[in-house]
């Protein structure tokens, strides 16, 4: 008879994904929205450092928000074709857990900061004939922690509220390639999104907003309730027999 605790015998194999799809909430600009996201169980909080964005933060604004992030919630700093000095300034000021690059940044550019990062890819890099270019991008970013697939064109910001055709979701990539779904997600479609493409994680912004950068606590909680309500894994009861 095994001496392992019963619950260990019913756990999913370690090669499977998490029991719940991870969620990153992006474009936070207010303390109350950080608080609502944390209380709702969001896994990662995204902060935008792109001057052209309506959700852009100054270093002082970012520092005040980063001080509110508790343990075990990741902070993500988002850039779009930035000057390296600007990226380093953010790192020095708030020390984000992850960097996120949304532009045409090469793998060499992203790696120079010696920080974990994820790379955003526009729909033009993975839909239709463009899917041929996806492997090239993945190969150029061998150390990326994940790839965020969004509805915008390459080199553009997300947060548009538009979804892409999920039938274009890349197929056949190894499970080690963590693909993150973004673009037009909200409480009404997130269940379908998860069941359709089974992403490693979700990235939501405008779908939980009242206006760009102004989140809604009720929308945040509704979104997370829908994510949490999905039955991801049911232990095999026969394992106890």
Q: Which of 83, 150, 236, 240 is catalytic?
A: 150
Q: Which of 26, 33, 110, 203 is catalytic?
A: 26
**Beta pairing class for 209-211 and 214-215:** antiparallel
Question: Is the Cα dihedral 27, 31, 37, 42 positive or negative?
Answer: positive
Q: State the distance between the two ends of the chain, measured CA to CA, in whole angstroms.
A: 12
Asked about 110 being catalytic, the answer comes back as no
Q: How far apart are CA 91 and CA 21, in angstroms?
A: 28
Asked about 26 being catalytic, the answer comes back as yes
Q: Residue 81: which of 59, 51, 60, 61 has the closest Cα? A: 51
Active site residues: 26, 150
């Amino acid at each position: 008879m095994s001496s392992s605790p019963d619950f260990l015998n019913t756990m999913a194999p370690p090669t499977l994904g998490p029991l719940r799809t991870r969620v990153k909430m992006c474009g936070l600009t207010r303390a109350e929205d950080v608080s609502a996201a944390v209380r709702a169980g969001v896994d990662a909080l995204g902060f935008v450092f792109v001057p052209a964005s309506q959700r852009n933060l100054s270093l002082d604004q970012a520092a005040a928000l980063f001080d509110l992030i508790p343990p075990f919630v990741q902070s993500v700093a988002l850039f779009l074709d930035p000057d390296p000095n600007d990226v380093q300034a953010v790192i020095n000021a708030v020390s984000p857990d992850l960097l996120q690059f949304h532009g045409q940044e090469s793998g060499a550019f992203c790696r120079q900061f010696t920080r974990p990062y994820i790379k955003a890819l526009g729909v033009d890099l993975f839909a239709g004939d463009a899917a041929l270019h996806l492997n090239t991008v993945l190969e150029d970013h061998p150390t990326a922690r994940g790839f965020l697939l969004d509805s915008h064109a390459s080199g553009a910001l997300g947060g548009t509220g538009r979804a892409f055709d999920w039938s274009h979701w890349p197929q056949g990539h190894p499970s080690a390639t963590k693909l993150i779904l973004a673009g037009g997600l909200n409480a009404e479609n997130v269940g379908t999104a998860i069941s359709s493409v089974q992403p490693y994680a979700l990235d939501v912004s405008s779908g939980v907003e009242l206006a760009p950068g102004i989140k809604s606590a009720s929308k945040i909680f509704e979104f997370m309730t829908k994510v949490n309500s999905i039955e991801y894994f049911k232990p095999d009861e026969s394992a106890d027999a």
